[in-house]
Chains A and B, each alone.
Chain A
Amino acid sequence: MFFDPAEGAAVEALVDRLIPPDPETPGGKDAGCAVFIDRQLAGPYGRRAGLYLSPPFIKGTKQQGPQDEDGPAVRYRKALAALDQYCRQEKGGAFVSLSDADKDAVIGGLESGAVKLDSVDGQAFFELLLGNTREGFFADPIYGGNRDMCAWRMIGYPGARYDYRDWVHRHNEPYPHPPVSFMGRADWNARKT
């Protein structure tokens, strides 16, 4: 909805290294984190609807909070272009084409500040991307991530339930019921044959 195909592929590759797949739980890509981010950037979050956007934009202290002229959508567009340029120049190809080890080295470099992007604060982009990836992984599946409630199953979170009165006093006992989302659960809707 927001990303073009190349941007989408890069974000899928990024989120799949931030949250890599393992035998029990899908990684960021198959969990839908890139889909989540795409939808968020296309909506009010991406354009900072409702936030105070009056100028001047003066760089202040960390304690004074974000004073960016650009909202998340614009920041992703600029950072992904700069990242693509960096990878082609330094690594010989687009981010998606790199080996897992090279991908991790680039992400680690963004995190530490060692990887410098052209006209973009790579460290700030890393923090934005990591935050959004976690949001997508753990938010209700209606937002496009956490597919089949895979992240909730992984940690043992029962989801959008509203009544735990039967378990308050069951100390140190595992909660017995599987997670449920706003749309219910796949087996609720399974066609019985």
Chain B
Amino acid sequence: MAQKLPKKDVAIIGLGWTGSILAHELTDEGLDVIAIERGPWRDAPTDFPTTYVQDELRYRIRHELFLRPEQMTFTFRNRMDQQALPIRTWGAFMPMTGVGGGGVHWNAETFRFLPSDFVLKTHLTQRYGAKFLPEDMTIQDYGVTYDDLEPHYDRFEYLCGTSGTAGNLKGQIVEGGNPFEGPRSRPYPTPAQEQPFSYTLFAKAARELGYKPFPQPSGNLSQAYENPLGVRLGPCTYCGFCEWFGCGNYSKASPQTTILPALVRKSNFAYRTECEVTRINLDGSGKRATGVTFVDTSGEEWEQPADLVILAAFSVFNVQLLLLSGVGKPYDPVANQGVIGRNFTHQTISQAIGFFDKDKFNFNPFIASGSIGMCIDEFNGDNFDHGPLGFVGGGYMGQVQTNGRPIQTNRVPPGTPAWGAKWKSGVRDNYLSTVIPGTGVHGSFYSYRDVYLDLDQLYKDRFGRPLMRMTIDFHDNEIKQNAYLTDKFAEIIKAMGAKEVVKEPRKAPYDVTQYQTTHLCGGAIMGTDPSTSAINRYLQSWDVPNLFIMGASAFPQNAGYNPTGTVAALAYWSAEAIKTQYLKNPGPLVHA
């Protein structure tokens, strides 16, 4: 029997980016807020100090900062007719645990989606006709527009101190920025990061091919910055240990370096770490959340009553908790009914590697940051005519190499043996003169009827509950998109002066052992129709109006950008709706 705790105004599940943002906004309204986090407290000086965080083996190879699969994992299959098997060790994506969430280990690429990404179905249908889209593609409009979100993107960027070069200021195209981006109300808070050799070479080659390269917007700061909450960040030192690592230098925007120092000082904010929420509790009607139940490290079960519940875990953990709590109707791909688990998506990533003459090129690949790089956006979203190409979607591409960490950054030219003297000399002769962009082609992943999340029938978690099952594969549209983009990307790498270019396009079937990104999206999507979406345009559950669901689980499909900027903008947008509308009159904000 769970022990009952005193009631709070708000219970927040998860203390990452969105949990921190909502906690800060709602405590500002005077509400009594508690955040409940599955993982430990983490802070820069104690958990990732600069004296030992540069450890590729410990953090990258052995996954030190991440959730342990024995604590929670998923089962996975490509197709509905396969037996799903458990993901026993992480591969294609890396779920975080602990305070700060993905904001600790991310690379801090801080993009905005294109205006057309939010009205995708309408936009593509108008331009190409409904028949142009694959029959089983289930893309939707978000129900919010870029203009709705612009002030909230702006707030997040000024919270983080994002370094970048604006490409569109209030409709004026600015040289040096991304000319395809939506209008910004003001410039980035700090200038773009300095770019080492290979990145400037990419920009030069792209410019010569007629593209408009721009610096990748970066949450690794080009200079010291004090944000509106009075929290200070330091300049990035280009150490090359960003993604998969915490920043010990206070240079990477994360909840720890932007919000938490202000939040923890508030008397109406409380948190519990190493407490795993196992259930969102509903009253007898099933239409109202009464709070949450969580388990502490000693296995003790607690009930935390609350008037308002904010689900702010990582995207797929949101969906898992909804399925396990019986909130909303589970999605059934055969009947094409239900909403929880619908429109699950990831990303379509590929690269082209450039081998250069070692006597002429020394790239010092270890001098890097997580979101350093020069990109082009000519092939993102619907920035190019898809009519003759037979696919939709796209992505940004760029030299965005994040590191030269040697266990993984030791590529050799094709034809080199995998071991022996030739391999050894191949590594020696190519380490400094090879461009390995990593997520060089960062493509969209649109949604399909048979790519979804539901509960597994066979495998159980440590509490004896079903694991969540992922059914996901690449469809022809994404494979065509990626082949086209990878070819375009390889042309630029070649034009940099590479003597040999190796294309690595993304191929089906989707492989759960191959890291792409941790951009899992969908499953509890936003929209305008309760029969095809789990939450309304304010991220409010259609079924349980005192439950708001943050995160990329809200994306009806994934765009060709990193999701965090949009996840945070949606969180601020939702927080504003709670503050200005919901609290005055608790109930559904949209009547369907």
Contacts and interface: CB of A to CB of B under 8 A. Distances in A.
B239 A173 contact: no
Contacts of A66: 88-89, 513
Nearest to A56: B458
B237 A65 contact: no
A156 B365 CA distance: 10
Contacts of B419: 17-19, 107, 111, 130
A51 B459 contact: no
B406 A151 contact: yes
Interface string A147-162: 0000110111111111
A20 B82 CA distance: 44
Contacts of A140: 55-57
A168 B194 contact: yes
Contact of B88 (A22, A56, A67, A167): A67
A182 B87 CA distance: 33
Given A17-B420, A52-B69, A160 B237 contact: no
B55 A52 contact: no
B50 A63 contact: no
A165 to B, nearest CB: 6
Contact of B431 (A156, A160, A173): A156
A104 interface: yes
A169 B196 CA distance: 6
A109 B73 CA distance: 36
Given A56-B458, A163-B237, A174-B362, A63 B509 contact: yes
Contacts of B406: 138, 151-152, 155, 157
B282 interface: no
B424 interface: yes
B404 A157 contact: yes
Interface string B50-64: 111011110001100
A105 to B, nearest CB: 12
A63 B512 contact: yes
A158 B424 contact: no
A116 interface: no
Q: In this complex, which of B57, B71, B509 has the most chain A Cβ atoms within 10 angstroms of its Cβ? A: B57
Interface string A43-70: 0010010111110101011111111000
B76 A64 contact: yes
Interface in B221-268: 235, 237-240, 248-249
B367 interface: yes
Nearest to A45: B62
A173 B406 CA distance: 19
A158 B364 CA distance: 10
Contacts of B56: 138-140
Contacts of B361: 172
Nearest to A167: B367
Nearest to B235: A165
A135 B239 contact: no
Contact of A65 (B71, B89, B431): B89
B407 A135 contact: yes
A148 to B, nearest CB: 15
Interface residues of A, number: 56
Contact of A52 (B86, B195, B428): B86
A11 to B, nearest CB: 14
A2 B95 CA distance: 31
Contacts of A51: 68-70, 88-89
Contacts of B364: 164, 167, 173-175
Given A50-B68, A140-B55, A162-B50, A111 B418 contact: yes
A63 B432 contact: no
B511 interface: yes
B200 interface: yes
A172 B512 contact: no
A111 B421 CA distance: 16
A61 B77 CA distance: 9
A102 B509 CA distance: 38
B416 interface: no
Nearest to B368: A164
Contacts of A25: 424, 428
A134 interface: yes
A143 interface: yes
A116 to B, nearest CB: 20
A107 B421 CA distance: 14
Contacts of A192: none
A169 B407 CA distance: 26
Given A130-B418, A155-B431, A161-B54, A60 B249 contact: no
Contact of B511 (A62, A107, A157): A62
B302 interface: no
Q: Which of B57, B419, B513 neighbours the largest number of chain A CB atoms within 10 Å of its CB? A: B419
B93 interface: no
Interface in B405-462: 406-407, 410, 418-421, 423-425, 427-428, 431-432, 458-460
A143 B431 contact: no
Nearest to B248: A162
Interface in B378-411: 404, 406-407, 410
A149 B88 CA distance: 33
Contact of A18 (B196, B240, B420, B431): B420
B20 interface: no
Nearest to A44: B62
A61 B11 CA distance: 41
A130 B423 CA distance: 12
B187 interface: no
Query: B77, B83, B89, B406 — which one has the most chain A CB atoms within 10 A of its CB?
Result: B406
Contacts of A175: 364, 366-367
Nearest to B429: A155
B85 interface: yes
B197 interface: yes
A65 B239 contact: no
Contacts of B50: 162
A94 B96 CA distance: 45
Nearest to B460: A54
B78 interface: yes
A136 B70 CA distance: 26
A50 B70 contact: yes
29 contacts: A22-B421, A50-B71, A51-B69, A51-B89, A52-B70, A64-B85, A65-B87, A65-B513, A66-B88, A104-B420, A111-B418, A135-B61, A139-B407, A140-B56, A143-B57, A154-B424, A155-B428, A155-B432, A161-B366, A162-B239, A164-B239, A168-B194, A168-B238, A169-B194, A169-B196, A171-B200, A173-B362, A174-B364, A182-B51
CB-based closest 5 A-B pairs:
A50-B68, A155-B431, A52-B69, A171-B197, A139-B57
Given A51-B88, A63-B511, A162-B248, 11 more contacts: A51-B70, A65-B87, A134-B407, A160-B55, A162-B237, A164-B240, A165-B237, A168-B195, A168-B367, A175-B366, A182-B52
Interface of B: 50-52, 54-57, 61-62, 68-71, 73, 76-78, 82-83, 85-89, 91, 194-197, 200, 235, 237-240, 248-249, 361-364, 366-367, 404, 406-407, 410, 418-421, 423-425, 427-428, 431-432, 458-460, 509-513
